[in-house]
Amino acid sequence: MLELRHLKTLLALYESGSLVAAAERLHVTQSALSHQIKDLEDKISASLFVRKSRPLRLTTAGYKLLHLAQDVVPQVKAVERELGRLATGETGRLHIAIECHSCYQWLMPTLNQYRQHWPDVELDLASGFNFAPLPALCRADLDLVVTADPEPLDGISYIPLFRYESLLALPKEHSLTKKRFIEPQDLASETLIIYPVEQGRLDIFKQFLDLAGVEPKAIRTSELTLMMIQLIASGRGVCALPNWALTEYLEKAYITAKPLGKDGVWSTLYLAVRDDQLNAPYMQDFILTAKDTCVETLQGITLLK
């Protein structure tokens, strides 16, 4: 019944002091306004302003509406502007999930830098083990997924960030440290520590053990990389981790690490993005920032050969 149009009219009427002026302001004819006001007055069965008076005076009803308009119209305009910026990609939402659980090294600097450039983009970072981020990305529950397993999905693009090698982390004095590289059957007598996800999603199974049909002696899980390192250092298992996630601990000589197989197990880390957001400026800039940060963060690390 009551519409924003009416409130805008009240504002224009009050601020300009006459129908003619208000009509000009609103880019309609004076007749249109006259009709509009008459209709509104009929609907609320009260007049809105005293006609025989210049500048025009509002009635009680008119003032009530004016006050409402003064409250509401600016709010609405603000949201309209925000929607405009949303549509042109000047701002947006960036709900991120990481499938790779040692990404904080380069993701945190990325987010910090990005936040400065895009203070209005709604940033959120989720990392859980028990949900599939890619379907959530399709459903628009998420906007960006960091993953090493790109599944071909409709409307999803994958942007490669960098290649990395999965290394087997071992206690310093372990017998396998004598070998130049690890062979699948070496693990048949070891306890393998993994993140609590299905084995099919782990490089060490997909690209190494499964190919040789070997299973480790035992499997235990841990959610935290630091915890894994401690378990390894105390001889309670071994673990495959990305080279860059190990650098810190290798340099401090807490543990050692060896390639998996003669050529090593290599993967690529991707950013998965929905196509409808791919070209938005705020998304493109995130991708660039992430790539830059990866290069910076990773260039100094020890890459075992």
Partner DNA sequence: CAAAAAAAATGAGATTGTTTCAAGTTTATC
Partner DNA sequence: GATAAACTTGAAACAATCTCATTTTTTTTG
Nearer to a second copy, 136 or 197 (CB): 136
Minimum separation from the CB atom of position 6 to DNA (A): 8
Cα-Cα-Cα-Cα dihedral sign, residues 58, 64, 67, 68: negative
Nearer to a second copy, 78 or 108 (CB): 78
62 bridge partner residues? none
Token reading at 266: 């290599």
- Is residue 143 within 8 A of residue 273, CB to CB? The reply is yes
3 binds DNA (CB under 7 A): yes
Minimum separation from the CB atom of position 93 to a second copy (A): 4
Backbone phi, psi, residue 23, to 5°? -60, -45
Token reading at 80: 């309209």
Q: Which residues bind a second copy (CB under 8 A)?
A: 1-5, 44-46, 50, 52-53, 57, 59-61, 64-65, 68, 71-72, 75-76, 79-80, 82-84, 86-87, 92-93, 122, 139-141
Taking contact as CB under 7 A, which single stretch among the options 15-23, 125-133, 172-180, 212-220 is the one that binds DNA? 15-23
Q: Which of a second copy, DNA, none does residue 18 bind (CB under 5 to 8 Å by kind)?
A: DNA
Minimum separation from the CB atom of position 77 to DNA (A): 18
- Is residue 191 within 8 A of residue 185, CB to CB? The reply is no
Nearest Cα neighbor of 245 from 95, 107, 97, 96 is: 107
Provide the residue count of the chain. 305
Nearer to a second copy, 155 or 160 (CB): 155
Nearer to a second copy, 55 or 160 (CB): 55
Nearer to DNA, 21 or 72 (CB): 21
Q: Which of DNA, a second copy, none does residue 86 bind (CB under 5 to 8 Å by kind)?
A: a second copy
Binding to DNA, residues 19-78 (CB under 7 A): 19-21, 27-32, 34-39, 51-54, 56
User: What does the alpha-carbon distance between residue 114 and residue 123 come to, in Å, rounded to a whole number?
Assistant: 10
User: What does the alpha-carbon distance between residue 145 and residue 272 come to, in Å, rounded to a whole number?
Assistant: 5
Token reading at 26: 């609103």
18 binds DNA (CB under 7 A): yes
Task: Tell me the CA distances in angstroms from 197 to 96, 145, 288, one per residue in order.
Answer: 19, 16, 29
172 binds DNA (CB under 7 A): no
Nearer to DNA, 42 or 223 (CB): 42
232-130-121-111 Cα dihedral, nearest 10 degrees? 0
Cα-Cα-Cα-Cα dihedral sign, residues 145, 223, 209, 302: positive
Contact footprint for DNA (CB under 7 A): 3, 5, 18-21, 27-32, 34-39, 51-54, 56
